[in-house]
Amino acid sequence: MLADAARGFLDEAAPVGKLRAMRDAGQTHDPDLWQQMARMGWAGVLVPEEAGGADMGHAAANVLAGEMGRSLSVSPFLSTAVIAATALRQVADERAKTALASIAGGTRTYALAVDEGAKHDPEASQLRAERVGNGFRLTGGKRFVIDGGFADRLLVLARTDAGLTLFDIPADRAGIARSAQRMIDGRDAAQIAFHGVEATGDDVLGQVDGAMSVLVPALRAGQAALAAEMAGLAAGAFGITVEYLKERKQFGAPIGSFQALQHRAAHLWCECEVTASAILHAGRVLDESPGDAGLAVSLAKARATQTAQLAVQEGVQMHGGNGMTDAFDMGFYMKRARVGAEWLGDYGYHAGVVARLRGF
């Protein structure tokens, strides 16, 4: 029911054609769409009821993410409603509750600033948080900060004296320089420089030197939701490909009647179904036993990355020469699949996690 309701709304309010219009206008985000999502309760899907949220759990968040992937909807859902909300839920203080209420109300957006190198590797963060009196001074840089060009606040991972610390700071604080960039999928990312940014103890999310107790659950939630979005993307690409196979004629017959193309379409459908099962499993484990979700989440992200890549490649191939033109929407799916593959860990990263957790 949730998927049907989300699909009906997104087909009308945020179809692929809207992404095309945003790209042509140079627009990387849609504040009005986010407000509509917030009014429907999507921004608070992981926010406790006492903070004004729906608290529907990760399985439900993944359903919403999957439908957004199907129509390539542009919103800060993953960075704000999933990653930031999950991080804030790990901290039981009034400041976190206030922030969660702001997320649920659609009045505050977040971006996650953790990566500094070419690949996802939070524990390698070198941005320095030097102690100065009762506070800190942040110096360094972050890259590939999704939604970082417009977010109200930043979750910043920094190296402190004995480990890593997560800070929750306003994006417009003195010393922060944001360089917004439009990615190949038309969405926003940013490189962010921290020039002696002052932070207090109140800006620390969780404990000093204890970032991972807050960050790991948030990353897993984000990775699972991103996997769900990519699975939805694969389903969307598969759907428009099948429609094209039914419509396009060659030698007087629909090309979908050719057995070779039927075999390829059947194989892709099977891959989409298996990946959908992995997504459902990851959401269930996150809801029931989040501390044990690492294997399920990484399996889902690895499979979704692989399936999305197969779906867009087959989509381009089965569209023939048309698949390479901007007039067809398949290129938008391919570009989003490429960005999604890299964010929060690529196939190799998650395959490595799966291997380690299985004892290889």
Give the pLDDT band of residue 286 (cuts 50, 70, 90): very high
Residues 65 and 116 in one domain: no
Residue 156 pLDDT greater than 90, yes or no: yes
pLDDT at site 322:
79
Residues 21 and 142 in one domain: no
Domain residue limits at 145: 111-208
Looking at the 3D structure of the chain, how many domains does it have? 3
Residues 254 and 344 in one domain: yes
Residues 279 and 296 in one domain: yes
List, for residues 217-256, the tens digit of each pLDDT value.
Answer: 999 999 999 999 999 999 999 999 999 999 998 899 999 9
Residue linked to tokens 């989440």: 297
List, for residues 177-204, the tens digit of each pLDDT value.
Answer: 999 999 999 899 999 999 999 999 999 9
Residues 90 and 145 in one domain: no
Task: Return all residues near 216 (Cβ < 8 A) that are at least 6 apart.
Answer: none
Of 108, 142, 160, the residue at which a domain comes to its end is 108
Q: Which of 84, 85, 46, 90 is nearest to 64 (CA)?
A: 46
Residues 169 and 222 in one domain: no
Q: Which parts of 76-198 fold into alpha helices (H)?
A: 85-89, 94-104
User: What are the φ and ψ backbone dihedral angles of 42, each rounded to 5 degrees?
Assistant: -70, -35
Q: What is the mean pLDDT of residues 267-279?
A: 97
Residues 31 and 42 in one domain: yes
Residue linked to tokens 């699949």: 337
pLDDT at site 61:
98
Of 88, 108, 128, the residue at which a domain comes to its end is 108
- Mean residue pLDDT of the chain comes to 95
Residues 218 and 342 in one domain: yes
Share of the chain above pLDDT 90, in %: 93
pLDDT at site 321:
78
Of 208, 240, 273, the residue at which a domain comes to its end is 208
pLDDT at site 194:
98
What CATH number is given to the structural domain containing 194?
Answer: 2.40.110.10
- CA-CA distance, 166 to 161, in Å (whole number)? 13
Task: Return all residues near 332 (Cβ < 8 A) that are at least 6 apart.
Answer: 16, 19, 20, 72, 185, 186
Quick count: other Cβ atoms within 10 Å of Cβ 122? 19
- CA-CA distance, 347 to 360, in Å (whole number)? 17
What CATH number is given to the structural domain containing 31?
Answer: 1.10.540.10
**Strand pairing report for 135-146 and 188-199:** antiparallel
Residue linked to tokens 């809207």: 18
Which range, of 98-107, 278-287, 322-331, averages the lowest pLDDT? 322-331
Give the pLDDT band of residue 327 (cuts 50, 70, 90): confident
pLDDT at site 143:
96
Q: What is the mean pLDDT of residues 21-50?
A: 95
Residues 128 and 230 in one domain: no
How many helices (H) and strands (E) are present in the chain, helices listed first?
11, 9
CA angle 43, 71, 257 (to 5 degrees): 150
- Residue 136 is inside which H or E element, if any? strand 135-146
Integer CA distances (angstroms), 238 to 3, 152, 165, 234, 260, in order: 18, 36, 42, 6, 16
Residues 353 and 293 in one domain: yes
pLDDT at site 86:
98
Integer CA distances (angstroms), 196 to 112, 127, 193, in order: 19, 11, 10
Residues 138 and 104 in one domain: no
pLDDT at site 325:
87
List, for residues 37-94, the tens digit of each pLDDT value.
Answer: 999 999 999 999 999 999 999 999 999 999 999 999 999 999 999 999 999 999 988 9
- CA-CA distance, 22 to 58, in Å (whole number)? 29
Residues 144 and 102 in one domain: no
End-to-end CA, the chain: 40
